[in-house]
Amino acid sequence: MTRTCFKDTVKLNLARPGNTLLANPKVRDLLINPSSGEGQDYIKANLRGANLNEANLKRANLTQADISEASFCYANLSEANLTEVNGVNTDFTEAFLTGVCLENWNIDATTKLDQIDCQYVYLLNNQKERRPNSGDFQPGEFTKLFEEVFDTVDLIFRDGIDWKAFIAAIKEVQVQNEDTPLEVSSIENKGDGVVVVKVKVTPEANKEKIHQDFNEIYQLKLEAVEAKYKAQLDAKENEITIYRQQNIDMMEIVKTQANRPINVEAKAVNNSSDSSQNIKIRDITNSGVLNLGEIIGDVNNIINQIPDNNDQQNSKLKTLLQELTKAIASENELDEEERADAANKVKTIAKAMQKPDDQGLQKKATRAVNLLETLAKGLEPATKLATACQTILPQIITFLGM
């Protein structure tokens, strides 16, 4: 009896309706006299497959009614309440829908909304959420507004979006579904980290497959991006650790310098009208304790013990370390103890080259390079050591794979 016309039928009350829509006397009366429905209550009514073409249902309450497969061509549904109706495969062609409430109505691509006569609707009960917000729909706008629902795939993100992962995923989904053009039609921020992205597709597209493909690929891309972020973060944390270690090392140097004994010699100034004393400060710890020549010789000896390899990489590195040691030994801007300390940093690097698999030595070598860089930055750019560090240290870093 789907869409059978019962208008003006007589003695329909004598029929044996079974479980059909004719079982409800109120519905039966509406089918016989479609103009009698204005302002009537059809809450949860079974109107499945009803023929209500040209019916007058103005201000009627159809909340939760089953109107699937029914026909409302040219029907007057203005100001009616269609909250939560089942409108699958329902025909509303040229119906009057001005002022209708469409809260959570259930429609799909089989619902016909051709040439609807509608100035405005409400998306919530009690005339709330008017659409359009002001003014009236232009011809065809109502149909376009609701048909867009059927031509889109809704992608819901509950913890925000990583746009790098999103773009990579949407591109890959497009490749996998090359016959279906994909177009992002809207991005909606629902609050609390929930974002809805609507992707426009063709009506015949397999929306379920596209939705599933995207979710799977997005998760993979997201994991890859997060892994990259973590690697960058770990690298940054490593830099911070090295920086902190440098500060600790520099603090130890400062403490050592602060605890060094100072000998003050006072000599009278002869042949001068100035009766004040000329004060000369001399570091007495260097006397017989620190032998820079021996330290430099020891460093060169360690450098020469670096084993040669087939690609001559170690030979090049040995030459660089020797040049750096020479620059340290002849740097006049540093005192002997500072030069000795810098030479020992080169010695640390040379030891690490002898045992490339020793992670402890490699970390010490990294700190040594960083400390030499810090030392060089404190010198005038034109000094021997500063110039040597600018040209040699980058090559050493490359050789060591730092």
CATH code, domain with 194: 3.30.70.260
Q: Are residues 79 and 5 in the same domain?
A: yes
Q: Are residues 12 and 117 in the same domain?
A: yes
Please state the domain count of the chain.
3
Q: Are residues 182 and 318 in the same domain?
A: no
pLDDT by 10-residue block (mean), the chain, 402 residues: 93 91 94 96 96 97 96 97 92 96 86 94 91 89 78 78 85 85 82 80 80 88 76 65 56 52 45 40 39 80 78 77 85 80 85 80 82 78 79 78 66
Please report the pLDDT score of residue 41 as a whole number. Answer: 96
Asked whether 71 and 3 are in contact (CB, 8 A), the reply is: yes
Determine, yes or no, domain membership for 261.
Answer: no
Determine, yes or no, domain membership for 24.
Answer: yes
Q: Are residues 54 and 142 in the same domain?
A: yes
C-alpha to C-alpha distance for 258 and 256, rounded to whole angstroms: 5
Pick from 103, 132, 150: which residue ends a domain?
150
Helices 207-259 and 359-377: crossing angle in degrees, nearest 10, is 70
**Structural domain range at position 9:** 1-150
C-alpha to C-alpha distance for 315 and 313, rounded to whole angstroms: 5
The torsion angle over the Cα atoms of residues 385, 303, 364 and 380, rounded to 10 degrees, is 0
C-alpha to C-alpha distance for 145 and 225, rounded to whole angstroms: 36
Determine, yes or no, domain membership for 252.
Answer: no
Q: Are residues 140 and 162 in the same domain?
A: no
Helices 336-354 and 359-377: crossing angle in degrees, nearest 10, is 150
CA distances from 288 to 30, 78, 284, 292, 339 (A): 119, 108, 9, 11, 16
Determine, yes or no, domain membership for 377.
Answer: yes
Asked whether 96 and 115 are in contact (CB, 8 A), the reply is: no
Geometric angle at alpha carbon 174, from 173 and 177, rounded to 5°: 85
User: How many Å from the N-terminal Cα to the C-terminal Cα in the chain?
Assistant: 81
Determine, yes or no, domain membership for 273.
Answer: no
Q: Are residues 5 and 129 in the same domain?
A: yes
Q: Are residues 391 and 375 in the same domain?
A: yes
Please report the pLDDT score of residue 48 as a whole number. Answer: 95
CATH code, domain with 37: 2.160.20.80
Q: Are residues 43 and 115 in the same domain?
A: yes
Q: Do the strands 128-131 and 121-124 form a parallel or antiparallel pair, or are they unpaired?
A: antiparallel
Please report the pLDDT score of residue 375 as a whole number. Answer: 79
Identify any residues that bridge with 91 across adjacent strands, giving them in sequence order: 71, 112
Pick from 150, 167, 197: which residue ends a domain?
150
State which amino acid sits at residue 329. Answer: A
DSSP state of 279: E
Is residue 186 left, alpha or beta, with left meaning phi > 0 and alpha meaning psi from -120 to 50? Answer: beta
C-alpha to C-alpha distance for 372 and 222, rounded to whole angstroms: 40
Identify any residues that bridge with 299 across adjacent strands, giving them in sequence order: none
Asked whether 373 and 394 are in contact (CB, 8 A), the reply is: no
265 CB-near residues (< 8 Å, 6+ apart): 279, 280, 282
Q: Are residues 186 and 67 in the same domain?
A: no
Q: Are residues 302 and 366 in the same domain?
A: yes
Pick from 188, 210, 230: which residue ends a domain?
230
Determine, yes or no, domain membership for 393.
Answer: yes
**Residue whose tokens read 């090392």:** 249
Q: Are residues 297 and 346 in the same domain?
A: yes
Please report the pLDDT score of residue 272 as a whole number. Answer: 42
Of all helices (H) and strands (E), which one includes residue 267? strand 262-267
Q: Are residues 66 and 165 in the same domain?
A: no
CA 115, 118, 120, 125 torsion-angle sign = negative
Please report the pLDDT score of residue 85 as a whole number. Answer: 93
Determine, yes or no, domain membership for 262.
Answer: no
Geometric angle at alpha carbon 286, from 283 and 290, rounded to 5°: 155
**Cβ-defined contacts of 362-367 (< 8 Å, 24+):** 362/400, 365/400, 366/242, 366/400, 366/402, 367/242, 367/245, 367/246, 367/249
Please report the pLDDT score of residue 242 as a whole number. Answer: 62
DSSP state of 71: B
Residue 200, phi then psi, degrees to nearest 5: -80, 135
Determine, yes or no, domain membership for 169.
Answer: yes
C-alpha to C-alpha distance for 395 and 30, rounded to whole angstroms: 92
Please report the pLDDT score of residue 264 as a whole number. Answer: 45
